[in-house]
Structure 1
Amino acid sequence: MVRDLPDDDEWVQERRRTIGARIRAERLRQNASQDQVWMAARITRWTYQRVESGEGCTLSTLLRIAWVLEVQLGDLDE
Structure 2
Amino acid sequence: MYGVRDLPEDDSWFTQRQEAVGRRVVAERLRQNLTQEDLFLAARVDRRTLQALEAGRGNPVLATLHRIAYVLDVPLSDLVR
Following superposition of structure 1 onto structure 2, how do residues 1-78 of structure 1 map, counting pairs within 5 Å? Answer: 1-55=3-57, 56-78=59-81
Residues 7-40 of structure 1 deviation map (CA, whole Å, 9 limit, x = unaligned): 1111111000000000000000000111110001
Identity among equivalent positions (%) equals: 50
Specify the code of the residue in structure 2 equivalent to 1:67.
Y
For 1:51 and 1:65, the matched residues in 2 are separated by 11
TM-score by length of 1: 0.92
Runs (4+) off by over 6 Å: none
Segments of structure 2 that go 5 or more residues without pairing to the other structure are none
Note the aligned Cα RMSD (angstroms).
Answer: 1.0
The alpha carbon displacement at 1:60 in A equals 1.3
- Structure 1 unaligned segments of length 5 or more: list them: none
C-alpha distance in 1 between matches for 2:56 and 2:41: 19
- Matched residue count: 78
**TM-score, length-scaled by structure 2:** 0.89
**Which structure: larger Rg?**
2
